[in-house]
Amino acid sequence: MSQPAASIRKKPVSMKKAILRLLLYFVVLDVCVITLYPYFAMLCTALKNRVEIFSSNGTILPVTALWSNFIDIWSRAPMAKYMLNSVLIAGGSTIIAMLCGIPAAYALARMKFKGQTAFLGFVIVSQMFAPVVLLIGIYQVMQRLGLTDNILGLIFINAAFNQAFTIWLLRGTFMGISAEMEQAATIDGCTRVQSMMKVLLPVAAPGIVTTLIFIFINAWNEYTVALCLISTDEYKPLTVGINTFNGYNMIEWQYLFAASIFAIIPVVILFMCIEKNLVSGLASGGVKG
């Protein structure tokens, strides 16, 4: 393995490389096709009419694309309201989760204090209960606080249930970054808060952004608690709202999937915007800066 016989091995290596390259593209292509298939099926179905969907002689692509399905859903259900609620819930949850999570992760990564292990243990244990398991308890607490049927209530619940993830991921990110630069900044007269904001956070940006995305997506996609706490149509997020098309007796697949696509698109677009930051590898840049 460790023989430096580069000159002898040169040819087979490049041959191997070409094959690996081909294999790589093959794997990536397969993964992409399989991943996109449900979305392709949803889009095609959203463009069909009822008869075509339930026909035994099925089609893959719609015979005629019924784009009006995408317009109809806005009048058949208060979609705009649902959308706004989802934005408020996901955005609010992300902000609160980060405001609470960053300092906690920083303390865990950079300070030594009594009860550190206990706090970490508490963070893990707090996550053992999914909201669905605690639904009865959550409902009673929210009732006490007057936050049932309230978007603010959902924001707090989402932020709280995302704390463990925020803290774990950020702590890992912070610990992976040497504290030397922050110490240097402190010697130059920065306070702890300043050195964190100006030195650590920019370097930790890829990890922070990853965390942000995950919380936002989590909160946007939350379903069970919203279903339980929100009874007024006006406060429903998209995930709950689209079930208007999922009736007891029959499912309006074309409307359900048309609405679903609206629920999926914003999150995907948002992710694509931030994905560039992830790729640019700020961590290695931070060492030079």
Partner 1 sequence: MSTKTPAAPAKAPAKAGPRPSGSKRLFRKIEPYIWIAPSIILMAIFIVTPIFKVFQLSLSDVSRAGKIKGFNGIENFVKVLKSPAFGLVLKNTLVWTVAVVVLSTVLGFMLALVLNNQFRGRKAARAIVVFPWATTLVIQASAWNFIINKDYGTLNTLLMKIGLISAPVNWTPTPGAYFAWEIACGIFVTIPFVTFCVLSGLQSIDASYYEAATVDGAGYFQKLFSITLPLVKSSLTVSTVLNIIYVFNSFPIIWTMTKGDPANHTDTLVTYLYKLAFYNGKQGEASAVSVIGFMILLACASVYMIYTLRKGDEDL
**Lookup result for tokens 């696509």:** 261
Question: 251 - beta bridge partners?
Answer: 246
Q: Which of 167, 199, 230, 258 binds partner 1 (CB under 8 A)?
A: 167
CA–CA dist 134, 169 (Å, integer): 24
Q: Residues 223 to 252: which contact partner 1 by CB under 8 A?
A: 223-224, 239, 242-243, 246
Please give the C-alpha separations between residue 104 and each of 110, 232, 245, in angstroms, as whole numbers.
10, 35, 42
Using the contact rule CB under 8 A, the part of the chain among 67-75, 76-84, 162-170 near partner 1 is 162-170
Instruction: Give the C-alpha separation, 101 to 237, whole Å.
Output: 24
> What totals of helices (H) and strands (E) does the chain contain, helices first?
16, 0
**Which residues are paired to 246 by β-bridges?**
251
Q: Which residues contact 187 (CB under 8 A, 6 or more apart)?
A: none
Contact 273, 213 (CB under 8 A): no
Residue from 180, 272, 288, 289 binding partner 1 (CB under 8 A): 272
Stretch that binds partner 1, among 62-70, 72-80, 104-112 (CB under 8 A): 104-112
Q: Does 14 bind partner 1 (CB under 8 A)?
A: no
Query: Scanning residues 110 to 129, which ones bind partner 1 (CB under 8 A)?
Result: 111-113, 116-117, 119-129
Q: Which is nearer to partner 1, 63 or 99 (CB)?
A: 99
Contact segment (CB under 8 A) with partner 1 among 63-71, 74-82, 269-277 equals: 269-277
87 interacts with partner 1 by CB under 8 A: no
Single out the segment in contact with partner 1 by CB under 8 A; choices: 65-73, 74-82, 205-213: 205-213
